A and B are shown apart, each in its own frame.
Chain A
Amino acid sequence: MRYQTLLSSLFCLAAMASAQMTQPVKFQTVKSVQLSADDRIAAQERRLKDDPNNPEVQAALASAFIQKLRETTDFAYLNRAATLVDRILTANPASYDGLRLSAEIETHRHNFPRSAELANRLLQKNPSDSGALGMLGDSLMEMGQYENAGKIYERMVMISPNLASYNRLAYYKFVTGDKQKALDWMATAVQAGSPTAENLAWCLVEFGDMLFKTGHTADAHIVYERSLEALPGYHRALAALGREYAAEGKFDEAQASFLKAQTVIPLPEYAGSLDAIYTKMGRSTEAEQQRQLLDVIEKLGRVNGEKGNRTLALVYANENRHLDLAMQQITGELETRKDVYTYDALSWVLFRSGKQKEAEEASRKALSMHTPEPMFLYHAGVIAMTSGDKSAGKELLTQALALNPEFSWPEASDAKERLLP
C-alpha cells in the first residue's frame, strides 16, 4: 500500500514537473479536434440501422447521446441513451458497456450513491478502467467524501494521464484548499487538450473560474475567450464572461453576455444574474420578467416532482424571496449531494430564512475544506457578523476580498462596505 502511494505521488510530481517544463506560458496551446456529437450520432445511427441489435453500436450511440446532452443540456438525449442502455442490459445484464453507461447516466441524473455503486462494480471487474475511476471519484466528491475521491483521482492520473484525469485532480485540489496545485493541474489539463471541443471548452471555463476566484482576472478573461474559440456560443463561457463583466462594473457587457447564454439555455443562474443586473440598470420590467422566468422554472420543477435544485435555492436566497421554496429546494438537494457547495447554499438559505444557528453550522461545514471560494467566505462572514462575532466576520470578508477584490457583483461591494469602520 505504501509502495503504491509512493509511486502515485512520484508519478504525479513527475507529470506536474513535465507539464510545467513544457509549458512556459500557461494554456498557450489548446488542442481540440472538432469532433461534434452530431457527427458521432449520425455515424452510429447509420451503423445501428444496419445492425440494430449490436450492443457495441448501441453503446457507441448511447455514449454519443450523452455527449450531446453535455453540449445542449437537452435531456431528451439522456432518455435516448437510457433507452439504449436498457436494451443492452436486457439482452445481457452483465454487459460491461451497459453497466458503464448506466453509471454515467446515473452521474448525470445526480444519483451519486447509485453511480458510485455501479462504478465500484465495474472496478472490481476491471481495476484499471479510468472512466469508472472518474465516475467513482466524481460521486465521492459530490457526496463529500473528499479523501477517498482524491485517492481515486490520483489513481486515474496514473492510469490515464489526460484532460479528464488532470481536471478532476485539479478540482479536488481546489476544493480541498490547495489553490496553486489546482491551477497547475488545470493548466496541465488544458494543455493536454481533447478530441471533443465541448470537453475542452468546459475545462477552460473551469480553469477560468479558478483563476477568477483567486484573483487572476485578466488570465481568466483570456481563458474564457479561449473557451469560446474552442466552442463558439458556449453558454457557460458566455455566462462566465458575464460574471466577470458584472464584477468589473461593466453592466451593459454583462447583460449582453448573460442574455446570449440565456438564448442557448435558460438556466436559473442566468435569470438570477440578469434580474440583478437589470435592477441595477433601472430596467425594472426586464428584471421582473427574469423573476417570472425563475418562477416558471420552479413551477415546472414542482409539476415534474423535482426534489432539489441548489442553484435555484441560492438564487431565491440572493433575491430574498420565496425562501420557503428555497428551503425545499436545498434540503431536497442535500439528500444526494453533501459537498461543500451544497452546505454553502444551505447556509445562505438558512441565513436568509432567519435560522441563524443552523446557518452558522452549515457555514462551518462549507468552510471545512478551506476551499478558496470567495463566496463561501463572504456568506460565512456575513453570517458571523450577524451573529455578533464581528471580528470573525470581518476576517472572513477580508479573506474573500484578498482572493479577489472584485470576486462577485454585488457581493464584493457589500463586503467592502461591511468592512468600513
Chain B
Amino acid sequence: MSKLLRIILASLGLPLALGAHPMGNFSVSHYSRLHFKPDALEVTYVLDLAEIPAFQLLGTWQIDWKDQASLAAKSKGQAAEWLGNVSVMQSGNRLPLRILSASSTAVEGAGGLPVLRIVMKAEVPATPGELTYEDANFPGRAGWKEIVVDHDKAVMIASSTQTDRDISKALTFYPTDPAVNQPQDVNAKVAWSVVSAPTPKVPVQITSVSPAAPAPAVPFSAPQAAGPGAVVRGDYLSRMLQKKELSGGIILLGIFVAFGLGAMHAMSPGHGKTIVAAYLVGSRGTLKHAGLLGLTVTFTHTFTVFLLGLGILFFQRFFAAERVVPLLGAVSGLSIVAVGLTLLYRRANALLHGGADHTHSVSEMPARRSRIAELRAAEAGIVLPEEPEFVHSHGGSTHSHMIEGDITPGSLIALGVSGGIVPCPSALILMLSAIALGHAGLGLVLLIGFSTGLALVLMVCGGLAVYAKHLLPGGEGMASNPAFRLIPVFSAVVVICLGLAMTGVSAGWIQPLRFLS
C-alpha cells in the first residue's frame, strides 16, 4: 500500500483498495462487444463490479458470494434487468435483445471482500443498415467503459464510432499507463452491410462520439467507399456473379461493365497517374511507351489480385488482407523510389558532365534540336542534317550527354509493376466474390476487363503527358536553357517523392485523411 494511495483514500472520505481493483473500490466497469452477423447483432456485455458495488449487489441478492450455484442463478435473473437498460435502436425502433447466457464470477478483492464479473450474451435480429447502441446501466458511476465493434466475414462495417480494438480484453486487463486512453464509451453508432462473399477483415476507422459535437460517421476504407468505379454489394457485377448460369451476352456485358468500372475507378485519386506522367514527361516517352506501361499495369494488377484472392481464401486463417495490402503498397512505393533514384542518378550525372568542370566546345557538343524544330522543318520540307552522336569518349571514358529518352524496357516494366502490384480493394472484392461463388474463371475475365479499363486511363494519362510535353515552347534557345535541362532531373525527383509518399502511406507513417480533414 503506497503512501500516495493512503493519502488519496483519506482525501475524499472514501477508502479504496490498491491492488484489489485498479479502477477504484466503488467503480463499475462496462464492456460491450458488438459482433455483427449477416442477420443479427450479437452482444457480449460484461460488468465488473468492484468491492463496494459488489457488496451492495450481493446484499440485495442476499447470498454468500462463495455460493457459486446461487450466484449463477441470481446473475441470470439480474441479466434481464441489466440488458433491459441496454438499447439497440434501428430506424427509430428498439430491437428486442434475446438473452443467450449469463454467468458471474466472484473473486476476493481488498479486505476479503468480493469483486464480481458478470458476462452476458444476447442476440438481436437486425437487418443491414445503421443502428445505435446505448448502455444506460450505472449512469455516472466511475469505471472503464469500452465498446468494441467487430463482424463476421460476410459482413462489412461501413462506418462505426468504435473500432475492433479491445483494450481491456473484456475487462480482464486495465492499462495503467496514463498515455493509454481509458475509454468512456456508452454509445455506439454503426452502419453495416452484408457482402455476398467473405471479405477481407479491414480495420474500422474511428469516428468521434462526443456528445457535444457528434462527428459524422465516415466510410472506413476503400472497399466500402462508393467512389467512382467501386464494386459494391448490389451492383450489376455482384448480382451477375450470383447467377448460376450465364449466357454469352451477359458475360460480354459483364466484361464491358467491369471495363467501365475499372476506367472510372482509375479516375479516382491515386493509381500512379502522376507517377506515370512524371516519368514519361521526364523521359521523353512516346505513345508506345505509354501503351507498354499500361499493359504492364494491367497484367500486374490482374495477376496480383488473382493471386491475393486465392491466397486469402486459402490462408485466411493465418493472415489478414489488411496486413498484406500495406506491405504490397510499401514494396510498390520503394520500387518507385528505386526507379526514381536510378533516373535521378543518370540524369544528374549527365547534367553534371555538361557542367563547368566538363566543358565542350560548340562544335563538340551541339545543342540538341527540339522536337518542334524537327516538326517545323518537316512541314517546310527542309531536310535537317543528322544529329551528331551524343555518346562519345574523353580519355577512354565513354558517356552520354543525352539527358532525354532514357527509357529502358527494364525501368518501364519496373514502373508498371509498381503501379499495378497494389490491388484495388474493389477488384479484390470482385475476385473474392467470384471465387467464393464458384465463378473463378468468370471472375478472372471480369478482373482482366476491370484492369484493362484501369490501365486504359493510365495509358491515356501517359499519352496526354507525352502530347502536352510537345506543347512546351521549342527552339534551340529553350533547349539549351539550363532550367529546361533541369526538367528531367526535377521529374525524377517527383517520382522519388511520390514513391516515398506511397511508401509512407502504406506503412502508416503518413495519414492523408488527417490532412484532408
Contacts and interface: CB of A to CB of B under 8 A. Distances in A.
A223 B179 CA distance: 38
A53 to B, nearest CB: 11
19 contacts: A39-B210, A75-B11, A76-B27, A76-B142, A83-B176, A83-B177, A109-B10, A109-B11, A110-B7, A266-B14, A266-B52, A268-B13, A269-B13, A299-B113, A303-B15, A303-B17, A305-B9, A311-B13, A332-B10
B55 interface: yes
A78 B111 CA distance: 22
Q: Is the interface of A mostly helix, strand, loop or mixed?
A: helix
B9 A38 contact: no
Interface string A76-118: 1011111110000000000000000000000011110000000
Nearest to A42: B181
A145 to B, nearest CB: 20
A311 B11 CA distance: 11
The 6 A-B pairs of least Cβ separation, nearest first, read: A301-B15, A74-B142, A109-B7, A80-B178, A72-B142, A264-B140
Given A75-B16, A311-B13, A296 B1 contact: no
Contact of A300 (B113, B139, B212): B113
A49 interface: yes
A138 B166 CA distance: 42
B385 to A, nearest CB: 63
Contact of A306 (B6, B140, B176, B182): B6
B138 interface: yes
A113 B140 CA distance: 33
Interface of B: 1, 4-18, 22-27, 51-53, 55-56, 59-60, 110-111, 113, 138-143, 176-179, 181-182, 184, 208, 210-212
A325 interface: no
A301 B10 CA distance: 8
Contact of A299 (B111, B179, B208): B111
Nearest to B177: A83
Contacts of B178: 61-62, 65, 80-81, 83-84
A321 interface: no
Given A73-B142, A304-B6, 15 more contacts: A34-B211, A45-B179, A45-B181, A72-B142, A75-B8, A76-B23, A80-B176, A264-B140, A265-B14, A266-B26, A289-B59, A296-B55, A299-B111, A300-B17, A333-B10
Given A74-B27, A304-B15, A39 B142 contact: no
A42 B182 CA distance: 9
Contacts of A80: 176, 178, 182
A312 B10 CA distance: 11
Contacts of B27: 74, 76
A42 B53 CA distance: 27
Nearest to A45: B181
Given A296-B113, A307-B10, A265 B16 contact: no
B64 to A, nearest CB: 14
B232 to A, nearest CB: 32
B56 A293 contact: yes
Interface in A314-362: 332-333
B500 to A, nearest CB: 20
Contacts of B140: 72, 233, 235, 263-264
Contacts of A311: 13
Interface of A: 34-36, 38-39, 41-42, 45, 48-49, 52, 61-62, 65, 72-76, 78-84, 108-111, 233, 235, 263-269, 289, 292-293, 296-312, 332-333
A124 B429 CA distance: 67
Contacts of B53: 266
B11 A300 contact: no
Contacts of B52: 266, 293, 296-297, 300
A301 B179 contact: no
Nearest to A264: B140
A118 to B, nearest CB: 14
B119 to A, nearest CB: 22
B214 to A, nearest CB: 12
A333 B52 CA distance: 23
B138 A263 contact: yes
Nearest to B15: A301
B430 to A, nearest CB: 36
A233 B139 contact: yes
A357 B210 CA distance: 58
B212 A296 contact: no
A267 B26 CA distance: 9
Contact of B176 (A35, A72, A75, A79): A79
B210 A78 contact: no
Contacts of B181: 41-42, 45
B110 A303 contact: yes
